[in-house]
């Protein structure tokens, strides 16, 4: 696990916290247990995309939602409203499946007016040369072990994607500022490296001042964040799957560790069934 001790000290002990009165902080969060403040973080994987439906490796390819995915986005907003878990601010990736899901969820929750921020750091893992390939066909061609290594290994990326590929992001204006840093392939460790600075610099400050944060992103960018929050080992993270369209609520302590490891899905039964479907992709 990559460590950011300096950032942690700065954000938990710096002036931003001292400027916010304790009573105001407690009024903005879900609870103050025994005088200890807790923070609310909501994670939401986008609804089913067209390439989820076709069982294709998607990565940074910008595909849209299916009708089922749109319904999942709307249902996510209804679940937030039913749980009275109302975000103050929203963060998404720069991919339309996450953007559309956040729009649908916010509309269903009557929260379309909320501030929304987008960053490539929340993008899905870049699947390299696998992008656009059928998962079942890759498994049959290369075998179960290689398929699972490319799909779920913590630190082994797939082969890099050439810039001439129709599925490349080279030349995409939304990533023009990345220059040579634009990924051509990634493993989960790479996703963690690009995501954690954003967690500390953008998301933690929002939580620190008592704002409920909704992050609408992707299977692997959310797995990276959950790995960090729950302290999941490099080996065990391979078994974690996150379903589409079901909000996952984390209540965090003052030092941003989960009150309940693993968080709480707002529809546990649907989440359990969907997790099994994600695990079986490619079969």
Given 39, 72, 124, 218, which residue is catalytic? 124
Q: If we measure between CA atoms, which residue out of 220, 212, 172, 168 comes closest to residue 193?
A: 220
Is 220 annotated in a binding site? The answer is yes
Catalytic residue flag (residue 124): yes
Is 48 annotated in a binding site? The answer is yes
Given 46, 72, 206, 249, which residue is catalytic? 46
Is 199 annotated in a binding site? The answer is no
Is 254 annotated in a binding site? The answer is no
Is 263 annotated in a binding site? The answer is no
Is 94 annotated in a binding site? The answer is no
Burial of 42 (0-12, 13-18, 19+ CB in 10 A): buried
Catalytic residue flag (residue 84): no
Place of tokens 């001790």: 5
Cα separation, 54 vs 66, in Å, equals 10
Is 219 annotated in a binding site? The answer is yes
Is 124 annotated in a binding site? The answer is yes
Q: Find the helix or strand (DSSP H, E) in which 117 lies.
A: strand 115-118
Is 30 annotated in a binding site? The answer is no
Is 2 annotated in a binding site? The answer is no
In DSSP notation, 201-260 reads IIIHHHHHTT--EEEEE-HHHHHHHHHHHHT--TTGGGG----TT--EEEEE-TTS-BSS
- Beta carbons within 10 angstroms of residue 230's beta carbon: 17
Asked if residue 213 lies in contact with residue 91, where contact means CB atoms within 8 angstroms, the answer is: yes
Is 127 annotated in a binding site? The answer is yes
Catalytic residues: 46, 124
Q: Report the binding-site residues.
A: 45-52, 58-59, 97, 124-127, 135, 151-152, 219-220
Q: Report the binding-site residues for substrate.
A: 45-52, 58-59, 97, 124-127, 135, 151-152, 219-220
């Amino acid at each position: 696990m990559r460590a950011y001790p300096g950032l942690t000290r700065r954000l938990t002990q710096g002036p931003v916290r001292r400027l916010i009165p304790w009573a105001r902080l407690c009024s903005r969060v879900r609870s103050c247990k025994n005088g200890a403040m807790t923070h609310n973080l909501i994670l939401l994987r986008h609804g089913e995309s067209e390439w989820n439906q076709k069982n294709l490796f998607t990565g940074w390819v910008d595909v849209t939602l299916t009708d089922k995915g749109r319904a999942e986005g709307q249902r996510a907003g209804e679940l937030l409203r039913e749980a009275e878990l109302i975000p103050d601010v929203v963060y998404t990736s720069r991919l339309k499946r996450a953007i559309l899901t956040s729009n649908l969820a916010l509309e269903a929750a009557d929260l379309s007016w909320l501030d929304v921020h987008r960053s490539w750091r929340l993008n899905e893992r870049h699947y390299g040369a696998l992008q656009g390939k059928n998962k079942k066909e890759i498994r049959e061609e290369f075998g179960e072990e290689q398929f699972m290594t490319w799909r779920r290994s913590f630190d082994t990326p797939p082969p890099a994607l050439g810039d001439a590929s129709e599925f490349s992001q080279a030349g995409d204006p939304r990533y023009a500022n990345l220059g040579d840093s634009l990924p051509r392939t990634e493993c989960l460790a790479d996703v963690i490296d690009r995501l954690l600075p954003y967690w500390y610099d953008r998301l933690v400050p929002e939580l620190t001042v008592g704002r409920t944060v909704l992050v609408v992103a992707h299977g692997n960018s959310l797995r990276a964040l959950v790995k960090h929050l729950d302290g999941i080992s490099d080996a065990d993270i391979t078994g974690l799957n996150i379903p589409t369209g079901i909000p996952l609520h984390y209540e965090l302590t003052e030092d941003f560790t989960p009150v309940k490891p693993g968080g709480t899905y707002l529809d546990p039964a649907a989440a359990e069934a969907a997790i099994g479907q994600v695990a079986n992709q490619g079969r």
